[in-house]
Amino acid sequence: MPRITDVPVLPQASTAPDRAAEHPVPVPPATAPGQPEQTQRPNRPERHRWHAWARLVSPVAVVLLWQLVSSAGLVSAQKLPPPLTVWHTAVSLVTTDSPAYGTLQGAMLVSLQRIAIGFAFGAVAAIGLALVAGLSRVGEDAVDPLMQILRTLPLFGLIPVFIVWFGIGELPKVILIALGTAIPLYLNTFAGIRGVDARLAEAGRALGLRRTEMIRHVILPGALPQALTGLRQSLGVAWLALVVAEQVNANAGLGFIISQATQFLRNDVILVALAVYAALGLITDALVRLLERRALAWRRGLLSQ
Amino acid sequence: MAPRTPLPVEAPEEAPVAATATTARGLVREFDGRRVLDGLDLDIAPGEFVALLGVSGTGKSTLLRALAGLDRQVTGTIDTPDRIAVAFQEPRLLPWHTVLANVALGLRTREPETAARIALTEVGLTERAQAWPLTLSGGEAQRAALARALVREPGLLLLDEPFSALDALTRMAMHRLVLRLWQRHRPAVLLVTHDVDEALVLADRVLVLAGGRLTFSAPVDIPRDRDRDRDHPALIELRHELLRQLGVSQEG
């Protein structure tokens, strides 16, 4: 049998006609021929940058209008505090450790810790279960029915049961977040594993890949896009679960600030806490999207076309 | 490799090489009660380039998958060289691995990357080694798939309509490339195609699959030094015969 390593390699020039033949019509290729792909970035037209700024116009206009309406005394400042008041409240919540609220950053840390622990447990369980169910029929029969039942249960309807089971401390909050995280992530990861292109799997078998190699090179990367979609959904549910869980006997965290503020009729404080929830949600979503861009860099060629 | 057995269906005039690289006997495969392969026998000599023709749905790809060991429900006996490689109609490169990693994937040699680089050079894709497969043109992707098959140094190379999705010019370039690579590495080749002219340009022997068996076999006895002359009288005659076999009365 001839060995490939024994034969002289083709001179480069002999491939030129082949390449020319591949673009018989002047379709702009995604990349210039001969240029290494990994250094390529899709260069966005100037227009797109202006577009990003243009999208800021309407939100800013609404905030200005809100400020004007409040300053003009058209609505009660207690019911709808003007943006500037909310800003000053935020600053004082950060700079002063008040007996009623503590500090904003302290509360934020408590809430972040809750969601981090709940999310971590939920994500690990979801991915583990999805692998068990996705990679074997027996695993699917054992795991999937239970997850499908869990998925139909109304998450927040479980709170009273959790209080009976786990009390009103940290545990029911973390479990609620973990459960909220686990279900969308499990469903998407499982579907992603099962949805791996059968033709690629067949090609893998034709290449003689072993089972572990199939999982590593074909199944897991193939499932990743949908698993990451599930991760983003999970984060959304996790933040919701945090907000709801913190309403239950919160003695620390952003939920505690909100329940205190409710008693003192301080809508400005409530708005600050809500804004912090929103900002943290946005930041975590951006982190996942960054992860997506890194992990799915191979799709860039497709998306930029 | 099994000892040579008499050909039951096809009987080429010149005696092939002593050893038989690939032998299939009595292959049967049913899909929902429909027999796609019905006691099929096939022989391919080492280094022989065989083209398999047949109208759509006659089981050409089924036969190829059976030979590749990708179909566990086929019955009969199959004897093939140890190393088999497949190139499919679509390139089937893993989009999340670079072209180089795709070619090196599953290689059990000591330096898979080096072997993969050499194979990529052979198909003229040296500079695309680090590219993502989704950025390749159709012809480039198919060349990468060819490199991925050849780097395994197969004794039997199975090609499942690998050029059918390419435009005419790219297809011609690919024909020349495949011939060049085949002449250098000399694997036995089974090319599944629905294109009579492609079969005539490339193969040593053309087969027709119909009714679950090989119903026709003929050698293509025209030198392959340059591109085979389409207007060669023997080719014209064989083309007519093949089209008749395929149930196409007039050449189109």
**A185-222: per-residue pLDDT in tens?**
999 999 999 999 999 999 999 999 999 999 999 999 99
Pick the range with the lowest mean pLDDT from A6-20, B141-155, B209-223, B227-241. A6-20
Q: What residues contact A171, with CB distance under 8 A and at least 6 apart? A: none
DSSP code of B123? T
When pLDDT is cut at 50, 70 and 90, the band that residue A37 belongs to is: very low
The whole-angstrom distance between A6's CA and the closest CA on chain B is 10
- Enter the pTM of the model: 0.76
Residue type, A111: S
Start-to-end C-alpha separation, chain A: 43
pLDDT for residue B252 is more than 80? no
Query: CB A206 to CB B132 under 8 A?
Result: no
Query: CB A301 to CB B126 under 8 A?
Result: no
Q: What is the CA radius of gyration of chain B?
A: 18
CA B90 to chain centre: 14
Is the CB of A224 inside 8 Å of chain B's CB atoms?
Answer: yes
pLDDT for residue A62 is more than 90? yes
When pLDDT is cut at 50, 70 and 90, the band that residue B4 belongs to is: very low
Spatial distance between the Cα atoms of B83 and B87, rounded to a whole number of angstroms: 14
Is the CB of B96 inside 8 Å of chain A's CB atoms?
Answer: yes
Is the CB of A299 inside 8 Å of chain B's CB atoms?
Answer: yes
Site from B137, B161, B171 to mutate, A interface, most A CB atoms within 10 angstroms: B137
Number of A to B CB contacts under 8 A, please give it.
134
pLDDT for residue A21 is more than 80? no
Q: If DSSP codes are grouped into helix, strand and coil, which group holds residue A92?
A: helix
Strand order in the sheet with B34-44: B34-44, B22-31, B75-79
Query: CB A207 to CB B118 under 8 A?
Result: no
pLDDT for residue B117 is more than 50? yes
Q: Can you tell me the mean pLDDT for A117-144?
A: 95
Spatial distance between the Cα atoms of B159 and B23, rounded to a whole number of angstroms: 17
Q: Does some domain include residue B220?
A: yes
Pick the range with the lowest mean pLDDT from A108-117, A156-165, A259-268, B221-230. B221-230
Spatial distance between the Cα atoms of A20 and A26, rounded to a whole number of angstroms: 11
A 20-59 residues inside an 8 A Cβ radius of B: 21-24, 29-31, 33-38
CB B214 within 8 A of CB B203: no
Is the CB of B57 inside 8 Å of chain A's CB atoms?
Answer: no
When pLDDT is cut at 50, 70 and 90, the band that residue B6 belongs to is: very low
If 0-12 CB within 10 Å is exposed, 13-18 middle and 19+ buried, where does residue A241 land?
Answer: buried
Q: Where are the domains of chain A?
A: 100-303
Range of the domain at B213: 22-93+155-245
CA B141 to chain centre: 17
pLDDT for the residue numbered A299 = 85
pLDDT for the residue numbered A35 = 41
pLDDT tens sequence across A88-128? 999 999 999 988 899 999 999 999 999 999 999 999 999 99
CATH code, B187: 3.40.50.300
pLDDT for the residue numbered B231 = 74
Spatial distance between the Cα atoms of B134 and B136, rounded to a whole number of angstroms: 6
Query: Domain total for chain B?
Result: 1
Q: Does some domain include residue B3?
A: no
- Considering CB atoms only, which of A18, A31, A202 is closest to B124? A18
Domain A100-303 has CATH 3.90.550.10: no
If 0-12 CB within 10 Å is exposed, 13-18 middle and 19+ buried, where does residue B108 land?
Answer: exposed
Query: CB A29 to CB B137 under 8 A?
Result: yes
pLDDT tens sequence across B9-38? 444 444 334 445 799 999 999 999 899 999
Spatial distance between the Cα atoms of A63 and A69, rounded to a whole number of angstroms: 10
Q: Does some domain include residue B116?
A: no
According to DSSP H, which parts of B108-167 are helical? 112-122, 138-150
CB B22 within 8 A of CB B44: yes
Enter the tokens of residue B112.
């898979």
Strand order in the sheet with B213-219: B84-87, B156-160, B188-192, B49-53, B205-210, B213-219
pLDDT for the residue numbered A72 = 86
